Structure 1
Amino acid sequence: MPLSVDSLIFDLDGTLWDATATVTEGFRRARQRVSYVPTDITLEAVRAVTGQPYPVVYERLFPYLTAEQREEFRLICAEEELASARQHGGQPYPLLRETLTYLAAKYRLFIVSNCQTGYIEAFLEHSGTGSYFEGHQCFGTKNLPKADNVREIIERFGLQAPAYVGDTDGDYQASRANGIPFVFAAYGFGEVPEFEARLEQFSDLRSIL
């Protein structure tokens, strides 16, 4: 059933692009700068925590570190991850620009992600999609949960009937907290209990909107 919306707010990782290989490389470079992370950081491990807030990511990946070590390593990883994202970018999902061109002609488009400051900008630069999005917000700006950042976008831009497009339970919970429809990107990294629409590929947005 087609959704009746005036705007779309997108998650980033697992929804617009897959940058897990780039992020993994950043983690590995960070590991070389410390002595207390003994094991390799695999692509599979990074994929398993993609989309989670930063504290959750580091608690799950490095539960054996002390609080001080975890915070120090988080800052090093953030530096290396952002450098890697700016240099290499990620892999945009198929027909990303073509689909955004179609959507931008009809809807206002935004991004809200649990990433650090500068990461969304790296995506926009590498994908060449900056002109499609009216605004964005991320965890790194104020260390707020995704639901709060979605609410800020809705209020700041006066959105009347937005929907959130994402791939994880956290995305689903953020949409429910704001009482807006959730569009599930099933090609991404997570599972959700329910949704108003399901995408098998990003370009499916053209058939439901």
Structure 2
Amino acid sequence: MSRQFDLLVFDWDGTLMDSTGMIARSIQRAFRDVGLTEPSDKDARFVIGYGLHEAMQYLGPELNAEQIQRIVDAYRGHFLSQDHELQLYSGVEEGLLRLQAAGFRMAVATGKSRAGLDRVLAATGLSPFFEVSRTADEAFSKPHPAMLEYILEACDIEGHRTLMIGDTTHDLQLAINAGTASVALSYGAHPLHDLLPLKPLAHFDDFSRLTDWILAHG
């Protein structure tokens, strides 16, 4: 059977790493630290995948640049004090090994900063799996297509041969904007009923099932 896709592009938080709960709590604590009403869990989870400044501006549209920076700094303090506790989702490392063995090329498009992504790639040992990566401080924030367009150009692969894999509406809209297909993971930041209207090719609640599907249909 001929292959549909050559390149698999993964989001990080909520897709490969079980970090959405900690991100949401760190956002809420950051707002509280600077004397502001903390956002709801739903709102804090919604902005996961945005760049940090874009996320905080979305949650506090009335805030000025100085206030946003204070929240960002507070968030980083909370998150970095706990990120050593974070784990990959079950089946991720095994799945990436299987996909690599099958000849798929792989990349990462994430709302993390470059420093943050490099830190977790080193901590998890996953760096060798990914040919290229793009972060929120190197491109416009999701769902702007620039992040994925850079990866396509760097890999010299056309959009229709690329599959975006993520857990948020931002990931799926990014794929639409960049002209690629997508699949959704329902165990991350955004609920499945929000993901389905963006028409992913498939959706999964387990990374191993995602891997099986790609090997069979990708």
TM-score range, shorter chain: 0.7 to 0.9
* Aligned match of 1:150: 148
Tell me the secondary structure at the aligned position of residue 165 of structure 1: strand
CA distance in 2, matches of 1:134, 1:121: 13
* Aligned match of 1:172: 172
TM norm structure 1: 0.82
Q: Does 1:91 align with 2:87?
A: yes
Stretches of structure 2 lacking an aligned partner (at least 5 in a row): none
* Aligned match of 2:48: 50
* Aligned match of 2:10: 10
Query: Which of the numbers 89, 96, 100 marks the counterpart of 1:104?
Result: 100
Provide the aligned C-alpha RMSD in A: 2.8
Tell me the secondary structure at the aligned position of residue 114 of structure 2: coil
* Aligned match of 1:204: 209
CA distance in 1, matches of 2:120, 2:79: 11
* Aligned-pair CA distance for 1:24: 5.1
1:114-165 deviation per Cα after TM superposition (whole angstroms, max 9, x unaligned): 2222121122123221111111101112445452110100011112411100
* Aligned match of 1:186: 186
Aligned residues, how many? 205
Stretches of structure 1 lacking an aligned partner (at least 5 in a row): none
4+ aligned runs moved over 6 Å, structure 1: none
* Aligned match of 1:139: 136
Contact 1:51 1:113 in 2 (8 A): yes
Q: How is 1:50-89 mapped onto 2 (pairs within 5 angstroms)?
A: 50-63=48-61, 66-77=63-74, 79-80=76-77, 83-84=80-81, 87-89=83-85
Query: Which of the numbers 103, 121, 128 marks the counterpart of 2:118?
Result: 121
* Aligned match of 2:200: 195
Tell me the secondary structure at the aligned position of residue 182 of structure 1: strand
Paired AA for residue 145 in structure 2: A
TM norm structure 2: 0.79
* Aligned-pair CA distance for 1:203: 1.1
Tell me the secondary structure at the aligned position of residue 91 of structure 1: coil
CA distance in 1, matches of 2:20, 2:168: 15
Do the aligned partners of residues 74 and 115 (structure 1) sit closer, same or farther apart at CA in structure 2, a change above 3 Å counting? Answer: farther
Identity of aligned residues (%): 24
Contact 1:28 1:40 in 2 (8 A): yes
